[in-house]
Amino acid sequence: MKIQLKALYYLLALMAGSFAFPAGAVDSQQQYRLGSGDELRINVFGEETLSGDFQVGARGVVAMPLIGSVAAEGLTLNQLEDTIENKLKPDYLKNPQVSVEVLNYRPFYILGEVNDPGGYPFVSGMTVLEAVALAGGFTYRAKTSKVYIRRASNQKEELISITEVVLPGDIIRVRERIF
């Protein structure tokens, strides 16, 4: 019952738009790496026409005014800031100061033996068990003791605990039990 209430809380908060996570909210043990689908706010100090909300596109780039496409996939926020500053320096601004924050993280995906598989909005601090609750819970055929995850940073699927924290872009797979 407690998990269902928490899942309901997440869903209501997401629908109400009250979740806005700072860039450091993902996982303090890892530097967050940007990926396709992340929504960013980029501020160029003193340059309102260059500042705004942008999205990392399917090719992993951010299309910005004046400097065009900037590769963002796989970069940390600090690396993207440095990249944008370096593109602005030589021709457009003398000493650009850029800040980047994540407005909305890319979704995570859950498939296999859950009642409603699919993509779901990322919520900071969510565990695999809470992700399963968002997906309608385990089916009666689910092997609840074995859950696999493929991190966006690693193409290898690994066995994890249901208390593991979900990251943006993760793909969670719940296997079917044999008996």
Q: Tens of pLDDT along 22-65?
A: 444 444 335 788 999 999 999 999 999 999 999 999 999 999 99
Count of beta carbons in the 10 Å neighbourhood of residue 93 = 18
Count of beta carbons in the 10 Å neighbourhood of residue 91 = 8
Pairing of strands 171-176, 108-112: parallel
Q: Please report which helix (H) or strand (E) contains residue 119, including its range.
A: strand 118-120
On the question of pLDDT at 17 being above 80, the answer is: no
* 38 and 88 inside one domain: yes
* 79 and 151 inside one domain: no
Buried b (16+ CB within 10 A) or exposed e, 137-153: bbeeebeeeebebbbbe
pLDDT score for 13: 46
The domain containing residue 56 runs over which residues? 23-104
Report pLDDT digits (tens) over 61-100: 999 998 999 999 999 999 999 999 999 997 888 899 999 9
* 119 and 95 inside one domain: no
CATH number at residue 9: 3.10.560.10
Q: What is this structure's pTM?
A: 0.71
Last residue of a domain, one of 63, 89, 104: 104
Phi, psi (degrees; rounded to nearest 5) at 106: -65, 155
Q: How far apart are CA 94 and CA 101, in angstroms?
A: 23
pLDDT score for 25: 46
Q: Please report which helix (H) or strand (E) contains residue 9, including its range.
A: helix 2-16
Report pLDDT digits (tens) over 116-125: 999 999 988 8
* 97 and 27 inside one domain: yes
Last residue of a domain, one of 104, 133, 148: 104
Only one residue has tokens 């407005």, namely: 103
pLDDT score for 166: 93
pLDDT score for 126: 93
Q: How far apart are CA 75 and CA 35, in angstroms?
A: 8
Mean pLDDT of the chain: 84
* DSSP-assigned letters across all residues of 69-114: EEE-TT--HHHHHHHHHHHHTTTT-SS--EEEEEEEPPPEEEEESB
